[in-house]
Structure 1
């Protein structure tokens, strides 16, 4: 699918998710996911990128039907999170898994109901990269080189961006424009954010409605700073709804119901179009090799 077809995009969210670290907070009901998508679309949302990777209950068999019923385009992920979040043991050959899911179909569900993935999701560690993170990122880089798919990275509490870019873009020769760094707002270091933007990587600000994240109130400081420095073309925004509690309180519709109008009001409609439409069209457009 060409990136230009995405329209107004939630660049990081979850319709389905299950983690041993979040007992009782699973997102696993198809009906609830459909309701979320309809609320998102009702306020102008047209596409959603689900970052839920392999082994975390992503319900790959339900995604195509949900997209058909709601009219919202869904971009799904392969990849692997931190080991503590994996509910299933991954196969030994991660490159083969990632490439298969990017070029054929994701595992899980009946063959005729499962789409292929559109990106690889991996994760760093707090202020560094341990053996698991290095292994999964190396595999993601190989899968990227075989397919052209972008790599989305969970930064633990927004830290470790320099280490991630050094590994993926330095050692593994992935173009910075193919790397999406999530949770930048959880470490409101404006200098670090500028450096990431200047590198050419994507800054993904997500989880904007989470009251338990003390840094959320700094989101608009970061957006305004990057915009003033001419770096607004490196920004993506998403909801990152990961728990049943968050879904009940705000959920996916928050992105189009509250966040997008506020961005337009405070930073201008042109800036809002850039981060919700133009930037996702470039970030998720892939000249598929496989």
Structure 2
């Protein structure tokens, strides 16, 4: 079953709510700004470099980018508003929490309250420019499982989803643990699969695991191919073709997932529009490319936002 759509749904961008169809060609998972102790010296903190990347993305037909950088990782959400205005690219910001290893301090006590506040009122700590509202919740699993920290953040994400309607985007460590995530979020915590986005599936190129995740009705995000040295990049077209042939073309998304300054210099978000979209259209057909880059993001990031 393909995730549902609806005329009263909207994508919450940093400039306000818009219909999903207004996104255009979408990079469904990327980072313009990112800071983590796991990648010292490779911070994405240069606003001019981010603008050049976005402008290149727009020049090759890119219309929207979803930044999955969550709370406390240098997401620069205030700067996103100005970048959206200057480049014309629709930008979506994230709330949520990554794995504990990405933080030097303890997270706030009331995670669900934090997520709801940032989705409905505006993100905390926007030191430059406006404080936009986040448009999705980003959380993370562990390698082949879910530890106490991951379960805590996912419970908070589920609570915030039920309070707001926001989509929940999940970092799957090396593409693993999708079944554990779906069991917790969808079965136990009753988040609809159509509101769950599973990231990094391409890093674990197991066709049976991919189809098992697809059968849930969740979104499958293949991201990180802008890292042209990534060991699983050669499997991208095959993985997409297998899922499309099995009837899951309406649940697939593509993102660049640029996480370091070196990756931005090598490719960046512009790679998604300049190289990936033409490549997928050439190898798998324009119809599937349209679904992955236009039609599916228009539904995946749209929500019935609660008052």
- Provide TM-score, normalisation by structure 1: 0.98
Of the three residues 227, 233, 253, the one matched with 1:236 is 253
**Correspondence for 2:12:** none
Q: Which deviates the most, 161-170 or 220-229?
A: 220-229
**Correspondence for 1:54:** 71
**Correspondence for 2:277:** 260
CA RMSD of aligned residues (A): 1.1
CA contact (8 A) 1:18 1:87 kept: no
CA contact (8 A) 1:55 1:87 kept: no
Report matched runs for 1:1-290 at 5 Å.
1-109=18-126, 113-290=130-307
Measured in 2, the distance between the counterparts of 1:37 and 1:265 equals: 24
Q: Which runs of 5+ in 2 are unaligned?
A: 1-17
CA contact (8 A) 1:152 1:179 kept: yes
Q: CA deviation at 1:110?
A: 5.5
Q: How many residues were matched structurally?
A: 290
**Correspondence for 2:11:** none
CA contact (8 A) 1:40 1:254 kept: yes
Q: Deviations over 1:153-193 (max 9, x none)?
A: 00000000000000000110000010000000000000010
Residues 208 and 45 of structure 1: CA distance in aligned 2, closer, same or farther (over 3 Å) = same
Measured in 1, the distance between the counterparts of 2:284 and 2:144 equals: 31
CA contact (8 A) 2:24 2:63 kept: yes
Q: Which runs of 5+ in 1 are unaligned?
A: none
Measured in 2, the distance between the counterparts of 1:29 and 1:145 equals: 35
CA contact (8 A) 1:28 1:57 kept: yes
Measured in 1, the distance between the counterparts of 2:103 and 2:88 equals: 30
Q: Which deviates the most, 253-262 or 227-236?
A: 227-236
> Structure 1: which 4+ aligned runs deviate by more than 3 Å?
none
Measured in 1, the distance between the counterparts of 2:267 and 2:39 equals: 18
CA contact (8 A) 1:56 1:88 kept: no
Q: Deviations over 1:203-253 (max 9, x none)?
A: 000011324421111111101101111211010000000001100111110
Measured in 1, the distance between the counterparts of 2:134 and 2:40 equals: 26
* Secondary structure, counterpart of 2:134 in structure 1: coil
- Provide TM-score, normalisation by structure 2: 0.93
